């Protein structure tokens, strides 16, 4: 039996309209009711992930966002962050 499922958002949990279908919500609920942990990992910003997590009712889920650059715990607490240095970001933006 699986103990953990980690899923992407775009093209996986979200349909072609970037929405979570009723069917997907039902399956996620069934999985979590069986005691299987469900986490979200995506390239999106963590604010986007928090909204989708809330929509799915995943109050105890960890989130991995920004292509692995940030990890948040179940309560939204930042556990890991690897941000681009401001100087580097400004150099890139100036191009």
Q: Give catalytic residues, as residue numbers.
A: 8
User: C-alpha 68: how far from its chain's center?
Assistant: 10
The two tokens of residue 95 are 């191009």
How are strands ordered across the β-sheet holding 78-81?
Answer: 4-7, 37-41, 63-65, 70-72, 78-81
> What Cα–Cα distance (Å) separates residue 33 from each residue in 25, 30, 54, 94?
12, 5, 16, 49
């Amino acid at each position: 039996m699986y103990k953990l499922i980690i899923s992407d958002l775009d093209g996986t949990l979200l349909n072609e309209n970037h929405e979570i279908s009723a069917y997907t919500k039902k399956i996620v609920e069934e999985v979590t009711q069986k005691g299987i942990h469900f986490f979200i990992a995506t390239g999106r910003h963590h604010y986007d992930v928090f909204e989708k997590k809330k929509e799915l009712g995943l109050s105890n889920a960890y989130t991995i966002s920004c292509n692995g650059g940030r990890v948040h715990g179940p309560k939204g607490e930042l556990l890991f962050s690897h941000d681009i240095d401001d100087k580097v970001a400004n150099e890139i933006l100036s191009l």
